[in-house]
Amino acid sequence: MEKKKVIFSGMQPSGSLTLGNYLGALKNWVNLQGQYESYYCVVDMHAITVPKEPKHLRKNTLEVLANYIAAGLDPEQVTLFIQSHVPAHAELSWILNCFSYYGELSRMTQFKDKSRKQDSNAITAGLFTYPVLMAADILLYQADLVPVGEDQRQHLEITRDIAQRFNNRFSETFTVPEPFISKDVAKVMSLQDPNSKMSKSDSNENAYILLMDKPEKIKRKFKRSVTDSIGVVNYTDDQPGIKNLINIYSKITNKKPEEIVTDYEGKGYAKLKEDVAEVVIAELEPIQEKIDYLLKNKDYLEKIYIAGAQKAEAAAHKTLRKVKRKVGFIPR
């Protein structure tokens, strides 16, 4: 039997997940289920690269796990776990830090963006080496594919560079992973500034939809979404607000953007906004019910993350042993 390809991906428990996380990544993970050997992680170690209240981190970590399952990931088919439960991530990350360069890490646009938002005295070394921990996550599992949104492309490029550098120095050790970025909604944009991505760290609550937002809130946020003064529904870069709404609609209903444009001929933006809100609400309702249910069943979640960590650990250890031997560490 041919060996299944390996998938690895993760999300930070830095708050509740957004429609961007869902359409850009999570929904694709669900669609890929069954065809691959898959590992999906809640990256709590990444979340503490910026200040984080411990009780919020605990709550959000369980919430993200519940979101994964509620969105349709089946713990019988995929491995779900919490990053800090598998110490091999921290160990490999240290070793890879010693094969990563200051210059390349300084060029990471997410580091530049995130550090711009912080007081310069509060930028941690962890934030700077964030991409190295991400490389360790991926390379530990010898992942072939990494399904993420467009904003993670640069982090995957540095992961590939680090893997190739290590392989060249010590012989074939890591699979060099490919990004797996869906073309349709690689980037869900802010509802308030359609030229920047939808992000939960936005100071304006109207800019993003959270997976847990109630129907009234979703309607209100779409109603207030920023568009343009052209007044005709078109799918073009000149109308980024409308394009974003069409992308969201299209990803959920599987209708092609051109079909949606035809459907809205002669209709105004208000109708499009109402309808997009409606499909989003219908998509999220069953997920929200399931999240509520799962969060009331913490024992079940605990079973999942314990079993997941055991499976992940076994796979991670194989790689870590090999890496330690290659760099010259004496086995105990």
Q: Given the residues 5, 52, 59, 114, select the one marked as catalytic.
A: 114
Element (H, E) at 54: helix 54-71
210, β-bridge pairs = 18
User: Does the active-site annotation cover 114?
Assistant: yes
Residue with the two structure tokens 């051109």 = 258
CB of 197 to ligand TYM, least distance (A): 4
Minimum separation from the CB atom of position 198 to ligand TYM (A)? 4
Residues of the shown chain interacting with ligand TYM in the complex, contacts defined by CB under 6 A:
8-12, 20-21, 24-25, 43, 46, 134, 137-138, 146, 148-149, 151-152, 155, 187-188, 197-198
Residue keyed to tokens 């309808």: 275
Nearer to ligand TYM, 197 or 273 (CB): 197
- Is 197 among the residues known to form the active site? yes
- Collapsing DSSP states into helix, strand and coil, what is residue 42? strand
For residues 59 and 287, the answer to whether their CB atoms sit within 8 Å is no
Minimum CB separation from ligand TYM for residue 212, in Å? 16
Closest to ligand TYM by CB, 48 vs 138, is 138
- Nearer CB in complex with ligand TYM: 35/297: 35
What minimum distance in Å lies between the beta carbon of 28 and ligand TYM? 9
Closer Cβ to ligand TYM, 25 or 88, answer by number: 25
SS (H, E, C) 79-138: EEEEHHHCCHHHHHHHHHHCCCCHHHHHCCHHHHHHHHCCCHHHCCHHHHCHHHHHHHHH
Shortest distance (Å) from residue 37 CB to ligand TYM: 15
- Rounded to whole angstroms, how far apart are CA atoms 79 and 86? 13
Token pair listed for 160: 């590939």
Looking at beta carbons, which residue is closest to ligand TYM?
Answer: 24
Distance separating alpha carbons of residues 142 and 8, to the nearest angstrom = 9
| Selection from 9, 22, 10 nearest residue 198 by Cα | 22
Q: Annotated catalytic residue: which of 200, 255, 311, 324?
A: 200
Q: Are 40 and 10 in contact (CB under 8 A)?
A: yes
Nearer to ligand TYM, 154 or 167 (CB): 154
Of 116, 121, 146, the closest CA to residue 131 belongs to 146
Catalytic residue positions, numbered: 114, 197, 200
